[in-house]
């Protein structure tokens, strides 16, 4: 096979993977939304009643006695370990969500900063520049080569400073 043919197959494969990834994200979002919407208060109460009935029928006291009795220190240790695990999973999920939101905000800011004045209204341009400056200040610095940074206009210089910033600069001099 020729190199160009192999290169085309790799590009096609990458596009296919990206498409499948986007489909998976869309389906996961849809599933999450449907799951949240389906848990109405009536269903929550019904699930609690059915779960309580089933646990009562299982007679857990008998099972606990077979396992060695009720040692409170063991149960506290177990609950502590499980709660720590759940907390770490929740914090990891929150960090991933925050990183994704930061990347989306940075992309939106870059898109807004790269628009020409004829593409947007002047008032929206100023707001977009302020938003881009705020997002850029809070976002993590990316590893962008210096040559790429030189070609992008600095969005902070597209608009005059806000009144609070202007007053701060004057008062500091």
pLDDT tier at 17 (50, 70, 90 boundaries)?
Answer: very high
What is the span of the domain harbouring residue 13? 1-31
- For residue 69, is it within any domain? no
Please indicate, yes or no, if residue 149 is contained in any of the structural domains.
Answer: yes
Of all residues in the chain, the percent with pLDDT exceeding 90 is: 22
Query: What is the DSSP secondary-structure string of the chain?
Result: --HHHHHHHHHHHHHHHHHHHHHHHHHHHHHHHHHHHH--HHHHHHHHHHHHHHHHHH-HHHHHHHHT---HHHHHHHHHHHHHHHHHHHHHHHHHHHHHHHHHHHHHHHHHHHS-TTTS-HHHHHHHHHHHHHHHHHSPPP---HHHHHHS--GGGSSPPPHHHHHHHHHH-
Q: Could you report the per-residue pLDDT of 53-107, keeping only the tens digit for each? A: 888 888 777 777 776 666 777 778 888 889 888 888 888 888 888 888 888 888 8
pLDDT at residue 135 greater than cutoff 50: yes
Please state the domain count of the chain.
2
- What pTM did the predictor assign? 0.31
| Residue 113 belongs to a domain | yes
Q: Is residue 105 part of a domain?
A: yes
Q: Which two tokens stand for residue 151?
A: 């070609």
Q: Classify residue 139: in a domain, yes or no.
A: yes
Per-residue pLDDT band at 109 (split at 50, 70, 90): confident
| Mean pLDDT taken over the chain | 77
């Amino acid at each position: 096979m020729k190199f160009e043919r192999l290169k085309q197959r790799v590009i096609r494969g990458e596009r296919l993977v990206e498409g499948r990834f986007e489909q998976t994200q869309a389906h996961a979002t849809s599933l999450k939304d449907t799951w949240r919407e389906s848990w109405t208060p009536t269903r929550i109460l019904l699930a609690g009643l059915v779960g309580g009935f089933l646990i009562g029928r299982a007679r857990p006291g008998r099972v606990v006695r077979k396992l060695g009795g009720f040692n409170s220190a063991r149960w506290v240790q177990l609950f502590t370990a499980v709660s720590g695990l759940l907390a770490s999973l929740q914090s990891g999920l929150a960090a991933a969500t925050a990183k994704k939101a930061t990347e989306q905000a940075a992309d939106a800011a870059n898109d807004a900063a790269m628009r020409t004045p004829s593409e947007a209204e002047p008032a929206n341009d100023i707001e977009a520049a302020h938003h881009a400056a705020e997002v850029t200040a809070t976002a993590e610095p990316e590893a962008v080569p210096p040559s790429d940074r030189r070609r992008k206009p600095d969005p902070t210089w597209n608009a005059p400073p806000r009144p609070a910033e202007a007053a701060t600069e004057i008062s500091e001099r």
